Each structure stands twice: as structure tokens, then as C-alpha cells.
Amino acid sequence: MIKKIICLMALVCSSFGLTETAIYKPVIVLDFGGVMADFDLSEMLKYCAEEFDMTLGDFKVAIKQDIDKLACGEMEEEVFWNQLVANQPPSKWEERYKIFIKKLVSPRKDMYALVSDFRKRGFQVVLFSDVTQWQAEVFDELGLYNDFSFIMLSYQKKARKPYENSYKILLKELGIEPEQCIFIDDRLENIEAAKKLKIKGILYTSFEEVKASLNKFIFRNGGGETRSELLIGLE
């Protein structure tokens, strides 16, 4: 029976002028905020500035120096907030901050349905997110990480987009070559950085655009019939 299946696969491949190894399922990698969920960063900054009794401009200046360290896990969250003011942060700040984040984040049902569909078809779907520890704890508590086969968070790996090292860590963790990966992000700089490493990139502008681009990369007919293999050379 197995031999029959192998022979059938070889026949299908040869009919397209392909080798058996030319048929595979790419790993689909997605950003979180702006792709999987709506997360208004400007509202978060405004809230934090008000809580610390600072103008928005002063608050942005105050966090600018160490925000990368926080996102990369090189600075503890409590230390980051404590240094913003001469005294202690607002009372029960971690609790209040997390409550606000929980209210602010809004998962996109269409994208989660897409992830679920790809997982059912046997694709590996990965979350690749720049995020702080407290934010990640909220998203995890809400179950927003549950649908992914692998999760890479900047604060855990001490590397964030668009720095080249973050993409290299991702590929190494997944054990794949850049050509086996399709990366979706809402920031052009992150997509461009990925493409420099030969990773296929899709800039998120809308759900429909993502679907169309995925069809282009994955489904040979580029449209209605869902097909779970990426046919190299027939994109």
C-alpha cells in the first residue's frame, strides 16, 4: 500500500515536472499586534503617561532609551517602570496595567479562523511577536497564544524585529531554511528585513490581501480550490 502511494506521488510530481522533494508545506509565521489582534499602541502610551502624571511627549522621551531592552527581556518590567519616576509607580501598577491591556487588545476572528484552518490542513503556524513580559502574560491568560504550533516572543529570546538576529533565531528554532517560511507582519521594515534573508514576506494591509497573497504563495490555482501543498515553480 505504501509503495502504491509513493508511486502515485511520483506520478503527480512528474506530471508537473517536479521532484518529490519539491512538494512541501511552508511554515506560516505571523506577527501578533496589527495582524492577529488590534492593539492600539497610541492608546496604551496615552494611558501610561496619564497614570504617571506625565505629558505624552515627556513619557515617550522617558521610555525611549530602555524600551528595546524591555521588549528584548534585558530589563525587568518592574525595573523599567520604577526608573520612570523619582518615587514608586502608581499604586498596584502591574495589576492596573494588565487590566488596561486586557481591555485594549481585540483578537481578529477572521485571522484566528485562518490559523485554525491551516492547522487542520497540517501546516505549522507560528507566532513571532515583539512583546513585553506583562503584555504576554495577559495575552496568554486570554488564550490568544493557544492556536499556534510554536510561539517566539521577543522578551524570552532577547531578540526583536527587525533585527536580523531575531529571524535567524526563529529559523534555527524551527529547524527550517528561509525559503520554507512565509512571514506576515503589518510593519514594512519587518517584512523587508525578512526578505533580506530570503524569507517570503506578506505585508498585512487587510484580511483579504493576506488571503490573496497566501493563495499566490501556496495554492497553485491561486483561488477557490484549497490545496495544502506549495508547488515550487508553480506559484
- For residue range 173-230, list pLDDT tens digits in order: 999 999 999 999 999 999 999 999 999 999 999 999 999 998 888 864 333 334 433 3
pLDDT tens for residues 11-24? 433 333 333 333 34
- Decide: 181 and 155 in contact? Cβ < 8 Å: no
CA pair distance 82, 91, nearest whole angstrom: 12
What mean pLDDT is reported for the chain?
A: 84
Q: Which of 92, 102, 180 is nearest to 140 (CA)?
A: 102
Find which of 36-40, 73-77, 209-213, 214-218 is predicted with most confidence, using mean pLDDT: 36-40
Residues 129-143: pLDDT tens digits?
Answer: 999 999 999 999 999
- How does pLDDT run across 42-70, given as a tens digit for each residue? 999 999 999 999 999 999 999 988 999 99
User: What global pTM score does this model have?
Assistant: 0.81
**157-191 burial code (b ≥16 CB/10 A, e <16):** bebbbbeeebbebbbeebebebebbbbbbebeebb
Q: For residue 82, name the pLDDT band (cuts at 50, 70, 90).
A: confident
Q: Is there a cis peptide before residue 89, judged by omega within 30 degrees of 0?
A: no
Give the Cα-Cα-Cα angle 127, 129, 135 (nearest 5 degrees).
115
Distance from C-alpha of 126 to C-alpha of 180, rounded to nearest angstrom: 13
Inter-axis angle of helices 207-218 and 109-120, nearest 10: 20
Output b/e per residue, 16-36; b: 16+ Cβ within 10 A: eebeeeebeebbbbbbbbebb
Percent of residues, the chain, with pLDDT higher than 70: 81
Q: In the prediction, which pLDDT does 87 show? A: 58
Q: Where are the beta strands (DSSP E) in 79-192?
A: 106-107, 125-129, 150-153, 181-185
Rounded-to-integer distance, Cα 235 and Cα 224, Å:
15
Looking at residue 219, what is its pLDDT? 66
What's the confidence (pLDDT) of residue 116? 95
CA distance 199 to 179: 6
